[in-house]
Structure 1
Amino acid sequence: MLRFAPWKIAFTLTASLIAFLICLPSMIGPQNRAALAAHLPSWLPPNGIVLGLDLQGGAHLLYEVDRSDVIHSMVGNLRDDLRRLLREEKIGISGGIGINPRGVQVRIPDPAEVARIKPKLYNLVPLSSAGPGSGLDISQSDDGLLKLNITDAAIDNKVKRAVEQTIEVLNRRVNGLGTTEPNIQRQGNDRVLVEVPGLQDTNRLKEIVGTTAKLEFRLVAEPGANPGDVDMLEQTDQPGKLPVEKQVMVQGEDLTDATPGFDSRNGEPVVNFRFNIRGGQRFGQVTSANVGRPFAIVLDNKVISAPRILGPITGGSGQISGRFTVEQANNLAILLRAGALPAKLTIVEERTVGPGLGQDSIDAGKKAAYWAAALVVTYMLITYGTFGVFANIALLIHISMIFAALVLLRATLTLPGIAGIVLTIGMAVDSNVLIYERIREESHAGRSIISALDAGFNRAFATIVDSNVTMFVVAAILYFLGAGPVRGFAVSLALGILTTIVTAVTMTRMMIALWYRYARPTKLPI
């Protein structure tokens, strides 16, 4: 029990030193970290602990998926799918396809054709992609008028999937800003919470998040075109509206990459884009067949640029120009790379946590940690003397290892996380108390020093493991079932439990073994 191989001692001391060096940048100001990084080994993380929104301030936005926009999109898709199905089945209709707030209607005079196509109509809006069922409610009148209305269940399912897709898109967009540890998660059935620590420019965040980034490439309508096939869209680079054909020639979904750059001719900021194979082929066909015509680049139903096609573009790549600033070009590139949002978002709640409030939280957390550590250290010194010194040294290493683990995992430290660390300070010395009290009992029972020390560690170890495993299970439940600050508390608690077993048992045992080897005491100091 009291024999430690030299390599174990060297390994323990090295691990403790590395943990201290990893968390060292977190103990100094950001302005001094660059100077410190020049003196540290290159394999050590140069950055400190990532602070959460409640500690360093940042942006807090709560968005709601626009249900009416989802319904509008579903009705539009239903109309297009119905038109395609009627064309494929060669079904004759009387008049056109009408649009209702919740669906479409069409008149089919021939009852035989109604009976033939009606079963296929239910497949136009599946209730769920995971199983059978239709999301359409179809009613029929005697004169052949079919009304196809989308059910509430289908709309709810579409909203749910829209929220899931929105979270994925927002993750790509916000991470493109270069921020650290954004928190993007579902709130309720149709809301998404976006928290970005350290970002004080909320206008830029809203610009990135609040745009749908629906990119389309359409031809500018020629004079005399059918008004029903033309949209009058606003232009961003000049006043007035531009007639643009409704038909989308190339979808923005076919983009594989978009990067900001500068025009080699005039030095203006532009966005360079590249299509996938399908988009590149379609882009090449359109530009080859329409040389000399203006080709409108439409973003969110606004024409940002309408360059003239000077020749076929068959390389699958191109350039978007629109009198951008450098920041606008960079933001547009982020939006295009991330993809389009499935529905419009509206801001329900907006808060900005200033660094002053975050500093107050840090100061309060520091004060709590200092008082807890001071009281624990004092108690251990008074109660256990020399062994209390060993416990306090192990406690210092325990805290260093927690912060080092947070740095390596790039975990975000929040105010509840500080509370978890303060809690683990008491839990860490609790294991030492169990060991020391057991050693004291064995010594009073008449055992020798070496026998009492051995029995104290061995018999208390099972109790320590049982109590820590129980707490670790609780931390795991909090992490998987909780969200936001609850998960931050669970992470710090779990890391504290793991380091407790290392420091309170292994490290304390090593220090007592070295003390016994060199001091050769005649009695225990407890």
Structure 2
Amino acid sequence: MKNLSWRLIAVLVVIIMAAVFILPTASMYIKGTSEPEIWPHKKINLGLDLQGGMHLVLEVQTEKAVENAMSLKISDIRQALRKNTMKNRGVVLVDQSAKLHVKLLSADDLPAFRSIIADDFPDLAVTSASESGGITLVTLAMKTDEAERVEKFAADQALETIRNRIDEFGVSEPDIRKQGENRILIQLPGITDTKAAKDLIGKTATLQFRLVDEEGDVRAALASHAPAGSELLNLVRKDPATGAESATPMLIKKRVLLTGDSLTDARVLFDNMANEPYVSIEFDRKGAHIFGKVTGANVNRRLAIVLDDTVYSAPVIRDQISGGHAQITGGFTMEEARVLAIALRAGALPAPVKILEERTVGPTLGADSIRKGIWSMLIGGLAVIVFMVIYYRGSGLIADVALILNVLLIAAGLAAFQATLTLPGIAGIILTIGMAVDANVLIFERIREELNLGQSPMAAVEAGFDKATLTILDANVTTLIAAMVLFQFGSGPVKGFAVTLGIGILSSLFTALVVSRLLFDSILHKANVKTLSI
């Protein structure tokens, strides 16, 4: 009776816990209501293949990160040249390359320049030096190991930045992981606005504050080229009535006065005067100090707010702005302003990303998959239930009760661990239904052997469970190890299958060895059974 008592308590506790975890899902799908707010957990999450959504494979253009890192070296190298009084014609980034060209006016300075690079810029190397027309052209490139480190860091940082953006976008249970060295797999279940999601994920969000070139001639720059120190960028405006965009070319100084790295917050506010939303940004202490100095030194000049090489606004500085606040306007819709604010808060991507693969799974297809999956579970489960009753008669009913409880425990496990149920996961549940009665079959055959040897029903049940337990544990533990390996090294559908298989194995062990034994002992003790229906 002591064994009966602890088994009864264990089963009751597990059943109550399972009911608690299943309740939000049951109320969602049976009654059509939202999950009860009193529960601290959520309903079972459905994967991309069940509720529809978006599948993307991105490639991080890591070579651009190396190029950006090299461009940041330009001002430092220029400063080093001035410090060592080396006459030069400038330091420029070679187009479409992660190399720098340094033009020295004296070949005698070359040994000293090599020494400066070796001492002050250990991550750079002089790859070539040639003299032409009295100018020594020196080519600098990043060392291979340093370039590999920058590329790896760019891919890792892009992964984290995209994850932060998607978390703020409000997608439930996104699947975001690296594939290879520079690719990122993204699955967004339940997403409906795919365009907004792509815009948010792919936006580099490099925010810069630069002065407008007031002296330059835009027409002349369009006809030939921009003056030294400036470049042509477009000021983009959108008509709120028609949604049509217009681009006005502007000459913008290349020198960056302040970047978005100093941002601490970005939020959407509404301008009642202009009747349109805008993005309010806030700087940290250092950024606020720099912004105050920039605005104070350039009163009555236009300051361009540049995001991803597009000018969003270029207001005239009327006075010094010392509060560390600024506004980005541009004829946004509320959704566009929200996406921009999220991108700025999550930080800039270290390198551009390219969409290599895009698939959209419609909710209709997902609903159809759920319906077919449930039908396959019901039909498979019913077939197993009928077989057990026919073959093992009364004892088969005990196995069927354990089987039904096993399915409920799997559902509770998915909700408790906030695992995601996928179509292969449903296949794992169906497989578990067959495996769950497998343990009962081993136990029942052992009981039959003991009964054939003349044992009493009580002794036969006890011997049957004792002799079959080790065999059941061996078989299920090895399968559980396989499920753990699939979960650790698999991805997508494989991982979904491994989740339900692993939870199913643990629940089937509990129902076969504890629940079935409890039912047998309860019947044999209370009913005083002389013969066993098996």
Instruction: Compute the TM-score of the two structures, normalised by the length of structure 1.
Output: 0.88
Quote the residue 2:232 is aligned against. 232
1:75 Cα deviation after fit: 4.1
Quote the residue 2:363 is aligned against. 355
2:165 to 161, 173, 193: 173
Q: Secondary structure at the match of 1:217?
A: strand
Q: Secondary structure at the match of 1:147?
A: strand
Question: Given that residues 185 and 193 in structure 1 are in contact (C-alpha distance below 8 angstroms), is that contact kept between their aligned partners in structure 2?
Answer: yes
After TM superposition, the structure 1 stretch with the greater mean CA deviation from structure 2, 264-273 or 395-404, is 264-273
1:299 Cα deviation after fit: 0.9
Aligned partner letter, 2:395: F
Name the CA shift for 1:124/1:454 in 2 (closer, same or farther; >3 Å). farther
Aligned partner letter, 1:509: R
Name the CA shift for 1:360/1:153 in 2 (closer, same or farther; >3 Å). farther
Q: Distance in 2 between matches of 1:438 and 1:193?
A: 50
1:247 to 239, 242, 255: 255
After TM superposition, the structure 1 stretch with the greater mean CA deviation from structure 2, 291-300 or 68-77, is 68-77
1:335 Cα deviation after fit: 0.7
Residues 31-430 of structure 1 mapped to structure 2, 5 A cutoff = 32-34=31-33, 37=35, 42-43=38-39, 45=41, 47-66=42-61, 69-70=64-65, 72-88=67-83, 90-100=84-94, 101-108=97-104, 113-121=109-117, 134=123, 136=125, 138-141=127-130, 144-150=136-142, 155-223=147-215, 227-237=227-237, 239-263=247-271, 265-266=273-274, 268-430=276-438
1:336 Cα deviation after fit: 0.6
After TM superposition, the structure 1 stretch with the greater mean CA deviation from structure 2, 458-467 or 145-154, is 145-154
- Map Cα deviations across residues 368-405 of structure 1 (whole Å, 9 max, x no partner): 32232122212221222222212211111111121122
Name the CA shift for 1:41/1:213 in 2 (closer, same or farther; >3 Å). closer
1:425 Cα deviation after fit: 1.2
Q: Secondary structure at the match of 1:96?
A: strand
Q: Distance in 2 between matches of 1:510 and 1:381?
A: 19
Q: Distance in 2 between matches of 1:498 and 1:284?
A: 62
Question: Given that residues 137 and 151 in structure 1 are in contact (C-alpha distance below 8 angstroms), is that contact kept between their aligned partners in structure 2?
Answer: no
1:182 Cα deviation after fit: 1.5
Aligned partner letter, 2:49: D
Question: Given that residues 3 and 513 in structure 1 are in contact (C-alpha distance below 8 angstroms), is that contact kept between their aligned partners in structure 2?
Answer: no
Q: Secondary structure at the match of 2:299?
A: coil
Q: Distance in 1 between matches of 2:9 and 2:328?
A: 60
Quote the residue 2:458 is aligned against. 450
Aligned partner letter, 2:426: I
Quote the residue 1:12 is aligned against. 11
1:415 Cα deviation after fit: 1.2
After TM superposition, the structure 1 stretch with the greater mean CA deviation from structure 2, 391-400 or 109-118, is 109-118
Question: Given that residues 102 and 139 in structure 2 are in contact (C-alpha distance below 8 angstroms), is that contact kept between their aligned partners in structure 1?
Answer: yes
Name the CA shift for 1:120/1:70 in 2 (closer, same or farther; >3 Å). same
Question: Given that residues 129 and 136 in structure 2 are in contact (C-alpha distance below 8 angstroms), is that contact kept between their aligned partners in structure 1?
Answer: yes
Question: Given that residues 126 and 138 in structure 2 are in contact (C-alpha distance below 8 angstroms), is that contact kept between their aligned partners in structure 1?
Answer: no
After TM superposition, the structure 1 stretch with the greater mean CA deviation from structure 2, 246-255 or 140-149, is 140-149
Q: Distance in 2 between matches of 1:103 and 1:11?
A: 69
1:326 Cα deviation after fit: 1.0
Q: Distance in 1 between matches of 2:449 and 2:514?
A: 21
After TM superposition, the structure 1 stretch with the greater mean CA deviation from structure 2, 458-467 or 220-229, is 220-229
1:214 Cα deviation after fit: 0.9
1:300 Cα deviation after fit: 0.9
Name the CA shift for 1:432/1:12 in 2 (closer, same or farther; >3 Å). same
Question: Given that residues 216 and 251 in structure 2 are in contact (C-alpha distance below 8 angstroms), is that contact kept between their aligned partners in structure 1?
Answer: no
1:438 to 430, 435, 446: 446
1:144 Cα deviation after fit: 4.7
1:30 Cα deviation after fit: 5.5
Q: Distance in 1 between matches of 2:199 and 2:471?
A: 55
Identity, in percent, stands at 39
Q: Distance in 2 between matches of 1:511 and 1:197?
A: 41
1:81 Cα deviation after fit: 4.1
Q: Secondary structure at the match of 1:186?
A: strand
What is the CA RMSD across the aligned residues, in angstroms? Answer: 2.9
Question: Given that residues 288 and 322 in structure 2 are in contact (C-alpha distance below 8 angstroms), is that contact kept between their aligned partners in structure 1?
Answer: yes
Quote the residue 2:221 is aligned against. none
Q: Secondary structure at the match of 2:89?
A: coil
Question: Given that residues 381 and 389 in structure 1 are in contact (C-alpha distance below 8 angstroms), is that contact kept between their aligned partners in structure 2?
Answer: yes
Q: Distance in 2 between matches of 1:288 and 1:482?
A: 57
Q: Distance in 2 between matches of 1:245 and 1:31?
A: 62
Name the CA shift for 1:248/1:294 in 2 (closer, same or farther; >3 Å). same
Q: Distance in 2 between matches of 1:2 and 1:437?
A: 26
Q: Secondary structure at the match of 2:509?
A: helix
Q: Distance in 2 between matches of 1:504 and 1:311?
A: 78
Name the CA shift for 1:299/1:145 in 2 (closer, same or farther; >3 Å). closer
Aligned partner letter, 1:198: G
1:74 Cα deviation after fit: 4.2
Question: Given that residues 117 and 124 in structure 2 are in contact (C-alpha distance below 8 angstroms), is that contact kept between their aligned partners in structure 1?
Answer: no
Q: Secondary structure at the match of 2:389?
A: helix
Name the CA shift for 1:41/1:401 in 2 (closer, same or farther; >3 Å). farther
- Map Cα deviations across residues 89-143 of structure 1 (whole Å, 9 max, x no partner): x1514322244334122244666643344255357877xxxxxxx5646223477
Quote the residue 1:3 is aligned against. 3
Q: Distance in 2 between matches of 1:354 and 1:123?
A: 58
Question: Given that residues 173 and 208 in structure 1 are in contact (C-alpha distance below 8 angstroms), is that contact kept between their aligned partners in structure 2?
Answer: yes
Quote the residue 1:129 is aligned against. none
1:235 Cα deviation after fit: 0.9
Q: Secondary structure at the match of 1:364?
A: helix
Aligned length: 513
Question: Given that residues 65 and 159 in structure 1 are in contact (C-alpha distance below 8 angstroms), is that contact kept between their aligned partners in structure 2?
Answer: no
Q: Secondary structure at the match of 2:377?
A: helix
Q: Distance in 2 between matches of 1:125 and 1:490?
A: 50
1:305 Cα deviation after fit: 1.7
Q: Distance in 2 between matches of 1:455 and 1:31?
A: 43
Name the CA shift for 1:31/1:447 in 2 (closer, same or farther; >3 Å). closer
Structure 2: gaps spanning 5 or more residues: 218-225, 238-245
Aligned partner letter, 1:183: D
Q: Distance in 1 between matches of 2:498 and 2:465?
A: 28
Question: Given that residues 478 and 486 in structure 1 are in contact (C-alpha distance below 8 angstroms), is that contact kept between their aligned partners in structure 2?
Answer: yes
1:150 Cα deviation after fit: 4.3
Q: Distance in 1 between matches of 2:197 and 2:210?
A: 29
Q: Distance in 1 between matches of 2:125 and 2:324?
A: 39
1:263 Cα deviation after fit: 3.0
Name the CA shift for 1:2/1:386 in 2 (closer, same or farther; >3 Å). farther
